[in-house]
Structure 1
C-alpha cells in the first residue's frame, strides 16, 4: 500500500501507476442492497430467474452505479492518504462503461495519477481509474475521478 502524507509526496507520483486493489466479489446480496438503496429494482439486476431465461447475460448484472460506488472503497485499499483535515469526492470525467459485471464476478481497481494541482492549499488530484473484471479483457469502466484533499499544515 502506498502512503501519502502531503502534497509533495502525492506530486511525486504524477504520471505513475499507484497500484491495483485486491479483488472484490460482487454477489447478489450486494446488488440487492444497492437496488434497495437507489430504488432501482430493474429485473436485470434483481430477478435471477428472469435474467437467466430472458437476459442477454444469462444472469443478473451489477448496476453500473454500483460498480462506480466501489471506487472509494477500492481506492483506499491501494493508497492511504494520511494527515488530512478533509477529503472530498469532487468529480468524474470522461468515464465510459466497457462491459456489464455479471453477478459473482470479481473486480479490482487499477489507478494512475494523471494530474495534480495545489489550489491555495487544497490538493486537487485527478486519478485515472479502470475497474478490471477477473478473466475478462475489457474493463467494466474507465475514466478519471477527481478528489480534493486538505492536508494538515
Structure 2
C-alpha cells in the first residue's frame, strides 16, 4: 500500500473529501481473537471455542468480536496516512457504527476510507472525521462501517 504522507496540517487539509489509499490485508487469527477476548473479558464461545463453533455456530468456525473490527481501524489509519508534523493523535469517538458481516477466523480484512471532515480543535489541533469501511476479502458485505473521529495535535 502506498501511504499518504503530509508534511503538516496545512497540506493535510487539502485532502479533505479524498479517499485514503486502500489498506493492506490483515489476517485475523485465532490468537488475535483470543487476545482481544482476554483484553475485553468477552469470552463468548462463538469467538474462542473452536470445537463448539464448528458444531453449533451457523458460521462453523469462530468469528472475531465486532468491536475487534472497529479496534483495528486505528492501526489501519496509521498505516494509510502520516502527518509528519503531528505530535500525537487520540481517538475521539464513533458515529453510525454497524457490523454488517461477521469476520470468520483467518479472514483477511482491510480499510477502505476517506477523510470526511477536518475541523480546527483548540489552538493546535484538528478534529478529523474519517469514513471507514472494514472490508473482508471475498465477502460482499463489510465487517464494519463507521464514522471514526480522531484528534491530532501539532
Name the TM-score, length of structure 2 as normaliser. Answer: 0.94
Residues 39-83 of structure 1, C-alpha deviations (whole Å, 9 max, x = no match): 111100001111111001110000011111111111111111221
Q: Deviations over 1:76-133 (max 9, x none)?
A: 1111122122211111111111110000000000110011111333111100000000
Residue 94 of structure 1 aligns with which residue? 96
1:31 alignment counterpart = 33
CA RMSD of aligned residues (A): 1.0
Tell me, yes or no, if the aligned pair for 2:9 and 2:85 is still in contact at 8 Å.
Answer: no
Indicate conservation of the 8 Å contact 1:131/1:141, yes or no: yes
The alpha carbon displacement at 1:25 in A equals: 0.2
Residue 123 of structure 1 contacts residue 148 of structure 1 at CA under 8 Å; is this kept in 2?
Answer: yes
TM-score by length of 1: 0.94
Contact 2:47 2:64 in 1 (8 A): yes
Structure 1 stretches of 4+ with a deviation exceeding 3 A read none
8 Å contact from structure 1 (residues 7, 118) kept in 2? no
Contact 2:118 2:127 in 1 (8 A): yes
Q: Choose the corresponding residue for 1:126, options 106, 115, 129.
A: 129
- 1:52-131 pair list within 5 angstroms: 52-119=54-121, 120-131=123-134
Measured in 2, the distance between the counterparts of 1:133 and 1:77 equals 17
In structure 1, how many angstroms separate the alpha carbons of the residues matched to 2:66 and 2:7? 32
Give the gaps of 5 or more residues in structure 2: none
What residue number does 1:50 align with? Answer: 52
Q: Secondary structure at the match of 2:115?
A: strand
